[in-house]
């Protein structure tokens, strides 16, 4: 029987909470101690990531690795990306490749192959649908094999409304219309917990819109960015979730740079990340009314 990553995500949220740790790792985030130990950027990036993963693997529901940070470092950076996602996969923890691919036909097929097999293989990726709904079609064969896609729907950036909030003739916004299509597309890819492998990215900086989308999209699992550094708060998240599940909440800099930001005890960077992840997890659980 094929293991669906959407079911594994649901189970991880049930047992560990909603925290998705974003490994958006830049060279200047890395402490001097690692720089002294590791000579090249590939080894430095991976060692930083590995220690954060090891410190938080019993807290995080999953990890999201933003490929742009690694592409910016050239071939060595991409080697660090591949090594990071492989390391997480070996731990049997879901990993999302934040690649935001958005193209059609053969090109999209190649993106799907690149990130659902081979050196960069992950469990799920982010996809940009604003070229049209046919951008999603090349990924569906991989969903049948257990993978998932997180489709940009209502994003967390301040300028998202420029396109996403445009009203159509029937009075619906672009993102609401797209949400309806995602629900339709997702019906063919349902998991055991009534959530689809066609998931959505819904930023927590737009709480009213997020709550409305949850009501309209009960079977769609959400990736919720914008927590912490972008201004999203735990109390905004209850409306995005269903009985505390149905979504993962991403934090990147708030966790991986915790050793620089709120570290009065001068903890090592990995221990500071662990403390930040626990604090985030507990705040979200409390806001969602989960006391487990």
Per-residue pLDDT reduced to its tens digit, 245-275: 999 999 999 999 999 987 788 899 999 999 9
Please tell me the pTM assigned to this model. 0.96
Which of 100, 113, 172, 285 is catalytic? The answer is: 100
Residue 291 lies in a domain: no
pLDDT at 148: 98
CATH number (domain holding residue 240) = 3.20.20.70
Residue 42 lies in a domain: yes
Domain that holds residue 208: 5-286
Per-residue pLDDT reduced to its tens digit, 60-71: 999 999 999 999
Residue 106 lies in a domain: yes
pLDDT at 170: 87
Instruction: Please name every residue paired with 242 in a beta bridge, in sequence order, or none if there are none.
Output: 245
The answer to whether 100 is a known catalytic residue is yes
Residue 267 lies in a domain: yes
pLDDT at 249: 97
Residue 188 lies in a domain: yes
Q: Which residues of the chain have pLDDT under 50?
A: none
Domains of the chain: total: 1
Q: How far apart are CA 255 and CA 22, in angstroms?
A: 8
Residue 292 lies in a domain: no
DSSP the chain: -PPPHHHHHHHHHHHH-SEEEE----GGGS-HHHHHH--SHHHHHHHHHHHHHHHHTTT-SEEEEEHHHHHTTHHHHHHHHHHHHHHHHHTT--EEEEEEE---HHHHHHHHHHHHSGGG--SEEEE--TT-GGGSGGGHHHHTTT-EEEEEEE-SSGGGHHHHT-B-TTS-BHHHHHHHHHHHHHGGGB-TTS-EEEEEEE-TT-HHHHHHHHHH-TTEEEEE--BSTTSB-GGG-GGGSBTTBSEEEEESHHHHTHHHHS-TT---HHHHHHHHHHHHHHHHHHHHT---
The two structure tokens encoding residue 225:
């960015």
Residue 116 lies in a domain: yes
pLDDT at 169: 84
Residue 274 lies in a domain: yes
């Amino acid at each position: 029987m094929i293991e669906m990553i959407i079911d594994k995500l649901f189970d991880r949220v049930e047992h560990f909470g909603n925290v998705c740790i974003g490994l958006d790792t830049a060279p200047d985030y890395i402490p001097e101690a690692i720089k002294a130990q590791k000579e090249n950027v590939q080894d430095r990036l991976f060692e930083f990531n590995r220690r954060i993963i090891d410190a938080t693997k019993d807290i995080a529901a999953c990890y999201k690795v933003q490929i742009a940070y690694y592409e910016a470092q050239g071939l060595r950076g991409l080697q660090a990306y591949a090594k990071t996602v492989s390391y997480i996969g070996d731990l049997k923890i879901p990993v999302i490749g934040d690649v935001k691919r958005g193209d059609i036909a053969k090109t999209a097929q190649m993106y799907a192959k690149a990130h659902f097999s081979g050196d960069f293989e992950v469990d799920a990726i982010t996809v940009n649908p604003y070229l049209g709904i046919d951008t999603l079609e090349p990924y569906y064969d991989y969903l049948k094999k257990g993978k998932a896609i997180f489709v940009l729907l209502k994003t967390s950036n301040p300028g998202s409304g420029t396109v996403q909030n445009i009203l159509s003739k029937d009075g619906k916004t672009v993102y609401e219309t797209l949400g309806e299509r995602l629900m339709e597309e997702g019906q063919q890819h349902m998991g055991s917990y009534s959530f689809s492998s066609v998931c959505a990215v819904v930023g927590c900086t737009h709480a009213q819109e997020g709550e409305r989308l949850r009501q309209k999209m009960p079977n769609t699992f959400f990736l919720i960015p914008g927590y912490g550094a972008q201004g999203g708060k735990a109390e905004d998240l209850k409306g995005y979730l269903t009985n505390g599940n149905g979504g993962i909440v991403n934090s990147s800099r708030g966790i991986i740079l915790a050793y620089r930001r709120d570290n009065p005890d001068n903890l090592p960077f990995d221990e500071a990340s662990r403390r930040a992840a626990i604090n985030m997890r507990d705040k979200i659980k409390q806001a969602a009314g989960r006391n487990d």
